[in-house]
Structures are given as C-alpha cells and as structure tokens.
C-alpha cells in the first residue's frame, strides 16, 4: 500500500461497495479499502477485453491501483485476488452480504474507520464457508455500530442498575437500554442468555463468535436489538 487516501495514489486491497455505468464503456466504482472509501472511474472496464474488468467486480477481494484527485480518482490497474464464488450461488448468503454492504454504503458517507473493511472481509469469508447467516449478520451489525461510535449498554439497565442473571428485560428504544420487565411487560423479553450472546458478538472476532453452540433460538431477538441500535 503506497499512501493514504489523502495522497496521490492508493495501492492495496479493495472490495466493491457499489458501481454505476458511466458513458459507453466506463464505470464509477466505490471501493471499500483498509483506509476508507475510494471512489474512482474505471475507463473502458465494460469492454470485453478490458484489463480492469476482473478487479472491479463485486463479491471479490481485489488488488487495485487508483490515481487520486480532487474528485473521482482513476483506476490505473486492478486484479481479482479472491472471488467469493459460493456466495454468488447461495441466494441467502448473497442477501446477507448485500444487506451489510448496503449499510456500509450508508454509514461510510459520514464515518471513516479502517475497521469497516475488516468487518466486510470477515463477513464475506464466513459466508463463503458456512451457513450461520443470522450469527454473521448480528456480529456485523454490532461491529459496525461500535465503529460508528454507538455505545452499547449491555451491563446496566435504563436506571443504571446492573443487569441481573435471573431477571427479564425489554429493550427501551427511548433510553437505548434494557428496562426491567414488570409482570411480563410489553414487547419482546430478553433474558441473561440473550445479553450474553450480545456481549460476545460485541467483543469477539467473528470466527470465535461462530463457535458458540445452541444460540440459534436466541439470534432472532438479538438481531432486533442490533437493528434498533443501528438506527440510532
């Protein structure tokens, strides 16, 4: 990698966030890189014999060289390092990946964090090799939220009291915290097991989190929490 985003050139790994046809044979490509989003025009990339073509495709870990400018950069070279081929043929996996990429498209407009690239890369790797789609999604949501600066309160309730093992809680979107459920309360009930899964998803790397067993029944409600957090 030759320089930072603010320099004259970016050389390094990149994953396509989005691309738009431009003119007769060009594309504007938005790459997610370890240094942030790099937007560039890939001239002639839609031509069948273009040397840039393979390295500007989605679902692929690419190696690119981009000459940077005040506006759009220009793709100088690109090649595919690894194609996540199984995702292409697995509709459920593709939907998960597309959902996370869509979120990253939105959040990277206002937030720059090198970790976003690592999150997306780990997501693609695990979707390529396993069927744990809900667990992957939960982990990605919480990692993205924390990289945006969202503070996850998984230790105390909305009154500042420590969460208790035997208690039941509902999530208060107003307080962005769990509230003690009284007489069944209103809304979905979170137990200590849900909160344990959320804590691990927030701090563990993805491969470690996916080793947890018997959490499938907990994931749908944990995902409700994660979606609410991302919407803050």
- Tens-digit pLDDT profile for residues 172-203: 988 999 999 987 656 799 999 999 999 999 99
- Tens-digit pLDDT profile for residues 54-95: 999 999 999 999 999 888 999 999 999 999 999 999 999 999
Taking domain 86-230, whether its CATH number is 1.20.1440.120 is answered by: yes
pLDDT band at 112 (very low <50, low <70, confident <90, very high): confident
pLDDT at 12 over 90: yes
> What is the rounded average pLDDT of the residues 134-158?
96
DSSP for 41-61 reads EETTTTSTT-TTGGGG-SSEE
- Homologous superfamily (CATH) for 9-83: Nucleic acid-binding proteins (2.40.50.140)
The dihedral over CA atoms of 132, 137, 138, 139, expressed in degrees to the nearest 10, equals 90
**In the chain, where are the structural domains located?**
9-83, 86-230
- Tens-digit pLDDT profile for residues 21-35: 999 999 999 999 999
CA distance 156 to 178: 7
37-56 burial, b for 16+ CB within 10 Å, e for fewer? Answer: bbebbbbbbbeeebebbebb
Predicted local confidence at residue 184, as pLDDT: 60
- Cα angle: 221, vertex 224, 230; to 5 degrees: 145
pLDDT at 232 over 80: no
Tell how strand 73-83 and strand 36-42 pair up.
Answer: parallel
Predicted local confidence at residue 37, as pLDDT: 94
Higher pLDDT, 130 or 217: 217
pLDDT band at 1 (very low <50, low <70, confident <90, very high): very low
Predicted local confidence at residue 202, as pLDDT: 98
pLDDT at 120 over 90: yes
DSSP H/E element including 178: strand 177-180
Cβ atoms of 145 and 226 within 8 Å: the answer is: yes
Cβ atoms of 11 and 2 within 8 Å: the answer is: yes
**pTM, 2 dp:** 0.92
Window from 119-123, 128-132, 189-193 with minimum mean pLDDT: 128-132
Predicted local confidence at residue 5, as pLDDT: 53
CA distance 138 to 25: 38
């Amino acid at each position: 990698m030759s320089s930072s985003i603010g320099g004259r050139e970016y050389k390094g790994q990149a994953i396509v966030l989005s691309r738009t046809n431009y003119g007769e044979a060009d594309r504007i490509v938005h790459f997610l890189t370890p240094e942030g989003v790099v937007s560039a025009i890939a001239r002639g990339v839609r031509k069948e014999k273009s040397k840039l073509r393979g390295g500007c495709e989605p679902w692929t870990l690419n190696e690119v060289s981009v000459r940077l400018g005040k506006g759009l950069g220009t793709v100088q070279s690109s090649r595919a390092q690894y194609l996540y081929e199984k995702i292409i043929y697995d509709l459920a996996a593709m939907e998960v990946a597309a959902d996370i990429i869509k979120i990253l498209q939105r959040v990277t407009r206002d937030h720059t964090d090198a970790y976003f690239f690592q999150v997306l890369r780990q997501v693609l790797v695990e979707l390529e090799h396993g069927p744990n789609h809900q667990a992957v999604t939960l982990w990605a949501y919480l990692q993205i939220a924390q990289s945006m600066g969202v503070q996850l309160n998984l230790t105390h309730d909305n009154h500042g009291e420590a969460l208790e093992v035997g208690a039941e809680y509902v999530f208060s979107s107003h307080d962005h915290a769990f509230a003690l459920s009284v007489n069944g309360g209103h809304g979905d009930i979170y137990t200590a097991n849900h909160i344990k899964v959320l804590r691990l998803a927030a701090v563990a790397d993805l491969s470690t989190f996916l080793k947890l067993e018997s959490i499938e029944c907990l994931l749908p409600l944990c995902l409700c929490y994660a979606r609410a957090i991302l919407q803050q």
